[in-house]
């Protein structure tokens, strides 16, 4: 890419990122913010308007347009949410969840499809491809779906190769390559906790993104770290297995083969052991367990209160270790254990406060706001981010270029 073309492309991405994260702005504001001349910004925004990625906010006069925001100068522009779309898909156990994000990173449509529990990689790719074709036939999205992100609940290499996915019985699957053969869009494959973490931060640009730790609690305990707006992947892409931080020498056998991992103290199995004295629950029983546990604890059930007390203790210890390692500004907790986390949150914060080293800043420990769609939305945000990612720009890849 010639220098001038590259500069134009990078400035376009900077304009789109500013409008997405900070809202509508005048051309003069954009020029000041980006340190570029007003004439250049006018030329670039006009080009983005022609490509439907940006839209003019027309305010002939305040009297004619009562919706005009006070203080918003004429000549303001905003991102055009309909300019491009990004599909995110969560491949779960017995379920596919899909979310379509628009250019403003807002969910426009979502869907949940029940599938076979022993879904094969080939069947997953076919289902995703069929769903994409259906969306493409919708006049609102036709020709505007830019890219596809897919998450799986297991270990994924940085190049989209699924190393191990025991929960679905997949091992050594080149999922990215299979998707790319079937789908004519840029595709990305990511671990589900990484995607959920990325989505939780990306959809809330007002939150600090210097260092965020995410824990996804359910059957397991997935984790991810986002540092300066980027996922911390490690050398091979497998970083963030925080559930396997060992907190004790005893405890239940963990899925990784060790004993005493954080996961084995705070997952659904641990709650079942503490509350019911057994782990052989049916799937519907496991699904109902977090809400049942909270209802029982609220009604004064001693075993439920003890189970949540144990969760609080071990969760607090786990977060303290993560604070010592990462010094995060935010710790976000997501996953199907949400009712338990919500119920225990203040006490978990207390455990963290009393456990961290004196002088280390206390992180903001909070619930993820994305709920059930967190992995699908996260997958879509990874696709969205890639289109805006200045650092990976090269000659061959032109992001949102038509």
**Of 256, 276, 291, 296, the one binding Zn ion by CB under 5 A:** 256
Q: Quick one: 131 or 246, whose CB is closer to Zn ion?
A: 246
User: What percent of the chain is helix, strand and coil (3-state, nearest 5)?
Assistant: 45, 20, 35
Is 338 one of the binding residues for Zn ion (CB under 5 A)? no
Q: Who's near 250: CB < 8 A, 6+ residues apart? A: 259, 260
Question: Please, what is the minimum distance in Å from the beta carbon of residue 248 to Zn ion?
Answer: 12
Instruction: Using alpha carbons, list the distances in angstroms from residue 295 to 219, 285, 302, 386.
Output: 20, 14, 12, 42
**Of 99, 156, 261, 400, the one binding Zn ion by CB under 5 A:** 261
401 three-state secondary structure: coil
- Count residues contacting Zn ion (CB under 5 A)? 5
Q: Quick one: 97 or 244, whose CB is closer to Zn ion?
A: 244
Where residue 113 falls (left for φ over 0; alpha for ψ -120 to 50; beta otherwise) is beta
Binding mask 212-251 for Zn ion (x = CB under 5 A): --------------------------------x-------
Question: Please, what is the minimum distance in Å from the beta carbon of residue 247 to Zn ion?
Answer: 10
Is 254 one of the binding residues for Zn ion (CB under 5 A)? yes
Question: Please, what is the minimum distance in Å from the beta carbon of residue 231 to Zn ion?
Answer: 21
Q: Who's near 212: CB < 8 A, 6+ residues apart? A: 197, 200, 201, 225, 226, 328, 329, 330, 331, 332
Q: Quick one: 146 or 244, whose CB is closer to Zn ion?
A: 244
* DSSP element (H, E) containing 381: helix 374-388
Pairwise CA distance, residues 207 & 203, whole Å: 9
Q: Which of 252, 152, 139, 135 is nearest to 192 (CA)?
A: 152
Question: Please, what is the minimum distance in Å from the beta carbon of residue 246 to Zn ion?
Answer: 7
The stretch near Zn ion (CB under 5 A) out of 9-17, 182-190, 253-261, 325-333 is 253-261
The stretch near Zn ion (CB under 5 A) out of 83-91, 149-157, 254-262, 296-304 is 254-262
- Strands ordered across the beta sheet of 221-227: 230-231, 221-227, 211-217, 330-334, 364-367
Q: Quick one: 173 or 254, whose CB is closer to Zn ion?
A: 254
Q: Quick one: 262 or 379, whose CB is closer to Zn ion?
A: 262
Is 344 one of the binding residues for Zn ion (CB under 5 A)? no
Q: Quick one: 244 or 274, whose CB is closer to Zn ion?
A: 244
Question: Please, what is the minimum distance in Å from the beta carbon of residue 263 to Zn ion?
Answer: 5
Task: For strands 76-79 and 54-56, give the pairing.
Answer: antiparallel
Task: Quickly list DSSP for 31-100.
Answer: HHHHT--HHHHHHHHHHHHHTTSEEE---S-TTT-TTSPTT--TTEEEE-GGG-EEEEEEE-SSEEEEEE
The stretch near Zn ion (CB under 5 A) out of 21-29, 141-149, 252-260, 300-308 is 252-260
Question: Please, what is the minimum distance in Å from the beta carbon of residue 193 to Zn ion?
Answer: 14
Which residues are near Zn ion by CB under 5 A? 244, 254, 256, 258, 261
């Amino acid at each position: 890419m010639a220098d001038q073309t590259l500069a134009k492309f990078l400035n376009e991405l900077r304009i789109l990122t500013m409008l997405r994260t900070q809202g509508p702005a005048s051309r003069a504001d954009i020029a000041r913010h980006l340190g570029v001349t007003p004439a250049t910004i006018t030329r670039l925004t006009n080009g983005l308007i022609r490509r439907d990625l940006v839209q003019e906010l027309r305010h002939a006069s305040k009297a004619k347009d009562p919706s005009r925001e006070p203080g918003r100068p004429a000549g303001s522009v905003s991102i055009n949410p309909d300019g491009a779309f990004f599909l995110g898909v969560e491949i779960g156990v017995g379920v596919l969840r899909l979310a379509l994000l628009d250019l403003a990173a807002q969910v426009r449509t979502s869907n949940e499809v029940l599938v076979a529990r022993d879904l094969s990689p080939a069947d997953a790719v076919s289902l995703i491809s069929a769903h994409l074709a259906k969306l493409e036939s919708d006049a609102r999205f036709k020709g505007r779906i830019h890219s596809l992100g897919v998450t799986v609940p297991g270990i994924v290499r940085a190049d989209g190769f699924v190393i191990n996915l025991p929960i679905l019985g997949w091992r050594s699957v080149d999922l990215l390559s299979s998707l790319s053969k079937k789908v004519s869009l840029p595709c990305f494959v990511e671990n589900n906790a990484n995607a959920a973490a990325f989505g939780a931060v990306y959809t809330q640009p007002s939150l600090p993104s210097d260092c965020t730790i995410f824990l996804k609690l359910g059957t397991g305990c997935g984790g991810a770290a986002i540092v300066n707006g980027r996922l911390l992947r490690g050398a091979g892409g497998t970083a963030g297995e925080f559930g396997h931080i060992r907190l004790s020498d005893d405890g239940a056998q963990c899925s990784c083969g060790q004993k005493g991992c954080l996961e084995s103290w705070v997952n659904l199995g641990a709650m079942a052991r503490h509350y019911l004295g057994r782990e052989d629950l049916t799937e519907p029983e496991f699904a109902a367990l977090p809400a049942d546990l909270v209802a029982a604890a609220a009604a004064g059930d001693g075993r439920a209160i003890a189970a949540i007390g144990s969760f609080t203790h071990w969760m607090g210890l786990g977060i303290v270790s993560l604070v010592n390692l990462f010094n995060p500004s935010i710790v976000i907790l997501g996953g199907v254990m949400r009712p338990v986390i919500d119920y225990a949150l203040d006490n978990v914060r207390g455990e963290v406060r009393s456990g961290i080293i004196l002088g280390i800043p206390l992180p903001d420990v909070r619930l993820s706001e994305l709920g059930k769609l967190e992995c699908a939305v996260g997958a879509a945000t990874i696709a969205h981010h890639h289109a805006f990612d200045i650092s990976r720009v090269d000659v061959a890849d032109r992001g949102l270029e038509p």
